[in-house]
């Protein structure tokens, strides 16, 4: 059985080598200009340690939710892609139905103005 795990060990080894290597190379190539803001977790300006009652616009959430919705829905397409031949016409129709529903949702949020940043 262990021979079945060989690809995984290979994968682990590649990861273990590749990540430190790229970090190292980056360190050598990029200009070095340290600044305080660069050390913060989010560079977009949100202070990670703040008053718990502080407010920020709800649009962050809307955009985040919409992103998650549409991003995660595409995961649905993967299993279909894998079984494309076996599912045949049924799978195609089913996926079109799914996408149609998704498009209706997309049109709806667009018209509702959820995508506009004001």
Partner 1 sequence: MPTSFFTGTDYALSLPMILLSLFGLGVLIIDLMLPAEWKRWNAITALIGLGFSTAAVMRIQLGHFADGRPLVGSFAYLSNVGGQVVGSVLMDGFSIYFFYLFLLGAAIAILMSAHYLEIEHEHHGEFYALILFSVVGMMCMASGYDLVLLFIGLELMAISTYVLVGFLRRDKRSNEAALKYLLLGAFSSGIFAYGLSLLYGLSGSTNLQVIAQALQRHYSANPKDPIAIVAMITTATGLLFKVAAVPFHQWAPDAYEGAPTSVTGYMSVAVKSAAWAMLLRIFLWGLYPLRPVYLPLLVFVSVATMTVGNFAALSQNNLKRLLAYSSISHVGYMLLGLIASDNITNKTGIQGILVYLLVYTFMNLGAFAVVTSLRRRDIIGDEIDDIAGLYSKAPTEAVLMLLFLLSLAGIPPLAGFYGKYFIFLSLIQTQHYVLASLAVLYAVLGLYYYMRIGSAMFMRPATDPEPVAISPGMQVALAVTAIGTVGIGILPEFFIRAAGWSLGIQQAGTSLLGFLR
Q: Which distant-in-sequence residues (6+ apart) come within 8 Å of 37 by Cβ? A: 43
Count of residues near partner 1 by CB under 8 A: 11
108 lies in the site for partner 1, by CB under 8 A = yes
Rank residues 59 and 112 by Cβ distance to partner 1 and give the closer one. 112
91 and 83 in contact (C-beta within 8 Å)? yes
Rank residues 17 and 97 by Cβ distance to partner 1 and give the closer one. 97
Per CB under 8 A, the segment of 38-46, 49-57, 73-81, 107-115 that binds partner 1 is: 107-115
Judged by CB under 8 A, which of 81, 90, 117, 118 binds partner 1? 90
Judged by CB under 8 A, which of 35, 104, 116, 118 binds partner 1? 104
46 and 56 in contact (C-beta within 8 Å)? yes
Rank residues 6 and 52 by Cβ distance to partner 1 and give the closer one. 52
Whole-angstrom Cα distance, residue 24 to residue 16?
Answer: 13
Whole-angstrom Cα distance, residue 86 to residue 96?
Answer: 17
55 lies in the site for partner 1, by CB under 8 A = no
Token code pair at residue 60: 């962050």
DSSP code of residue 35: -
Residues that bind partner 1 (CB under 8 A): 86-87, 90-91, 94, 101, 104, 107-108, 111-112
């Amino acid at each position: 059985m262990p021979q079945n795990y060989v690809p995984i060990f290979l994968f682990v080894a590649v990861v273990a080598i590749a990540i430190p290597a790229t970090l190292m190379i980056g360190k050598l190539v990029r200009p070095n200009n340290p600044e305080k803001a660069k050390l913060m977790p989010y560079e977009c300006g949100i202070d990670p340690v703040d008053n718990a009652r502080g407010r920020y616009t709800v649009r962050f959430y809307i955009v985040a939710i919409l992103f998650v919705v549409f991003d995660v829905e595409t995961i649905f397409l993967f299993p279909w892609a894998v079984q494309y031949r076996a599912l045949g016409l049924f799978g195609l129709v089913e996926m079109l139905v799914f996408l149609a529903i998704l498009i209706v949702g997309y049109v709806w949020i667009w018209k509702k103005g959820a995508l506009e940043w004001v």
